[in-house]
A and B are shown apart, each in its own frame.
Chain A
Amino acid sequence: MPSITFEGNTYQCQPAESVLDILLRHKVEAAFSCRAGSCQTCLLHCLEGEVQAAAQKDLKPALKDLNYFLACQCIPQGDLQIAAPTAADVYSQARLTEKIQLSATVWRLRLMPEQSLLFQAGQFLNVRSPQGWVRSYSLANLPASDQGLELHVRVLPQGKMSHWLTADCGAGEMLEISTAHGHCIYTAGEPQQPLLLVATGTGLAPIVGILRAALAQGHSGPVRLYHGVREAADLYLHKTLQALAGEYANLHYYGCVSGADTAGIEPGQDTQPGRAADLAFQHQPDLKGSRVYLCGSPEMVKQVRTRAYLAGASMADILVDAFTCAAPAPAPLQETVSL
């Protein structure tokens, strides 16, 4: 079996074990989140040895050339010498300029990158705090030089990053950000196609980004947006989205409250009791020809993706972004909460 050398220590690999699993098994504090090769949180630098193409999927060409790879996707085929990413290769600086509380648990943060950053609304990037914590956040705004980057941060009870960002990190503070990535974005070319947007929790951030892109590019087909939350108070952009729906005749917005306490909620134009996806399929059982965007918890995304496909949406027209909460590790581990 090959071995890997990281920060002066050499670890023996087990069959079919990823670099991330090897490090975690040896209690190395390696950053990671989705374990599925999409969030790029576990990015590492290969100094010697070869990493397979699958472990470099979707990396920027410059990072590929430098032999960066995703630890969760890399099964060593030979000995590897690896190192933590060099900050200058991966991160650039951004200043926190605005922090606004939108609900009991959700904050809107605005970051101004020092150098202009190429991105599309709905993509995500990784933010690194001075403590070295790395988390992925989606971009809710359209690219415009004065807008910076709009992130929605939900404070989780065990989330050290979300606590730090919302409680301790003040306006003016510098953070490190990666480049933006992800394929869950609005693509022009079929302005009349019906759009179904389903978000749970702060999955609304990329969904709002996609919505803004669609409206800005003159999408003329019907756009239905369902935001699913537990309590009505969690509909953190309710008024904004209501106003937007008032402005665009083809936009329909539904705040969907799934918690037990729906007594005060009258099924009305904008707020409905029930799960977001259930209401969406109730309103529109046939999705043939529709384009579907799903952002939120992995369970919701997985279930609704299958339902949307069986309801007639073609696979290429279903775009998803699941929260990349750190999945449970095989070995007992430190804190594993993100977003």
Chain B
Amino acid sequence: MVMSPQGKGKAMSGLFEKLGGEAAVNAAVDIFYRKVLSDDSINGFFETTDMEAQHAKQKAFLTMAFGGPNSYTGKDMRTAHAPLVAKGLNEAHFNAVAGHLQATLEELNVPANLVDEVMSIAGSTKSDILGL
């Protein structure tokens, strides 16, 4: 059974369907990752030689934040972001990314109550991402 980080796997898959499933993720990921890459305060953490792989990672993150099927665990997220934390990743960067996520959802006219649910899942990853 796939679980979102705070362990409400079943309730969250309801959210995933309300948002429009994988098609919604596909619509959001291009807009979201473009915002992130255009933001000079954070894009240094996202620069990569393999843009397609980075794009795929953002898609996996959005799928998780949308309450969709994913295999993310807190430990994975902690390990994956540790090198970035070592490079100075902090709460301001986390909040900037979260802001881009919220703006993406608003741009796609996602209803406010669903935006809140997505932002709450995304927010729940903060301590793992920042290694707190």
Q: Which residues of B have CB within 8 Å of A312?
A: 34
Chain A residues lying within 8 Å of B30, measured Cβ to Cβ, are 309, 314-315
Q: Report the contact-size class of chain A (Cβ under 8 Å from the partner).
A: under 10
Q: How large is the interface on B (under 10, 10 to 19, 20 to 34, 35 or more residues)?
A: 10 to 19
Contact B37–A306 (Cβ < 8 Å)? yes
A306 vs B51: C-alpha distance in the bound complex, in angstroms?
Answer: 8
Q: Please, could you name 6 A-B residue pairs with CB atoms under 8 Å apart, sorted by A? A: A302-B51, A309-B34, A314-B30, A315-B29, A315-B30, A315-B55
**Chain B residues within an 8 Å CB radius of A302:** 49, 51
Interface residues in A280-339 by Cβ distance below 8 A to B read: 302, 305-306, 309-310, 312, 314-315
CA distance in complex: A302, B52 (Å): 11
User: Are A310 and B51 in contact, CB atoms less than 8 angstroms apart?
Assistant: no
Q: Do residues A310 and B37 form an inter-chain contact, with CB atoms below 8 A?
A: yes
Question: Do B34 and A310 have beta carbons less than 8 Å apart?
Answer: yes
Please tell me if B38 contacts chain A, counting CB pairs below 8 Å. Answer: yes
Known contacts A314-B30, A315-B30: A305-B51 contact under CB 8 Å: yes
* Contacting residues, chain B, for A315 (C-beta < 8 A): 29-30, 33, 51-52, 55
Contact between B55 and A310, CB atoms less than 8 A apart = no
Chain A residues within 8 Å of B52, by CB: 315
For B38, give the chain A residue with the smallest CB separation.
A310
Chain B, range 34-76, C-beta contacts under 8 Å to A: 34, 37-38, 49, 51-52, 55
Cα(A21)–Cα(B129), bound, Å: 32
Interfacial chain B residues near A305, Cβ < 8 Å: 51
Nearest CB on B from A38, distance (A): 11
- Nearest opposing residue in chain A for B58, CB measure: A315
CB-nearest residue of chain B to A315: B55
Distance (Å) between the CB of A306 and the closest chain B CB? 6
Chain A residues whose CB sits within 8 angstroms of the CB of B34 once the complex forms: 309-310, 312
Rounded to whole angstroms, the CA-CA distance of A240 and B33 in the bound complex is 39
In the complex formed, the residue of A with least CB distance to B31 is: A314
Interface centre among A302, A309, A310, A315 (most CB of B within 10 A): A315
Q: How far is the CA of A310 from the CA of B51 in the complex (A)?
A: 12
Interface centre among B29, B30, B49 (most CB of A within 10 A): B30
Once bound together, how far apart are the Cα atoms of A309 and B38, in whole Å?
10
* Chain A residue at minimum C-beta to C-beta distance from B27: A314
Asked if B37 and A309 sit within 8 Å, CB to CB, the answer is yes
Q: With the chains together, A309 CA to B30 CA distance in Å?
A: 8
- Chain B residues within an 8 Å CB radius of A306: 37, 51
Besides A302-B51, A310-B34, 13 other CB < 8 A contacts?
Answer: A302-B49, A305-B51, A309-B30, A309-B33, A309-B34, A309-B37, A309-B51, A310-B38, A314-B30, A315-B29, A315-B33, A315-B51, A315-B55
Interchain residue pairs A-B with the least CB separation, the first 4? A314-B30, A315-B55, A305-B51, A315-B30
